[in-house]
Structures are given as C-alpha cells and as structure tokens.
Amino acid sequence: MTMLTLPLPAARPERRNGILRFLNGFAEGVREGVTIAARYDTLAQKTDNELARIGLRREDIPRAALLGHK
C-alpha cells in the first residue's frame, strides 16, 4: 500500500488537531472502503450455488459486502 505524507502547516494547535482528526477519519474511511471492496470481490467470485449455500443471491452481493456478510 502506498503511504501519503503531507506536511502540516505551521498553525495554531487546535487547527493542527483538526487537520489530524480529518486525516485520521479520511484514512479510516479508505481502510473501510478497501475492506468492503475485498469482501465484494470475494463474494462476486463465488458461483450461484455457493452463494445459495450461504443464503445469498447474486443481487444481494452489494448489500452483503457493505454489511459484512462473509
């Protein structure tokens, strides 16, 4: 994975903390998105019969990926 490093501007501490909170929230969102995409890919590679065994249909994959079904 690529790491992004941004210099923090010389600003008041409360502004710097706000920027750090924003960046941490952004990074967490990216991690969550990667996890959802991986889950989607795993489910999408299954056959219809394999999906049926775990109680899913092909059209259920996006919801299942978002909600965490394995």
Q: Where are the domains of the chain?
A: 18-67
How much is the CA Rg of the chain, to the nearest whole Å?
Answer: 19
pLDDT at 48: 96
Q: Is 31 exposed, middle or buried (0-12, 13-18, 19+ CB in 10 A)?
A: exposed
Splitting the chain (70 residues) into consecutive groups of 10 residues, what average pLDDT does each group show?
Answer: 62 75 95 96 97 96 87
**Distance of alpha carbon 59 from alpha carbon 42, whole angstroms:** 14
pLDDT at 16: 73
pLDDT at 15: 72
pLDDT at 66: 95
Cut 0.75: pTM above it = no
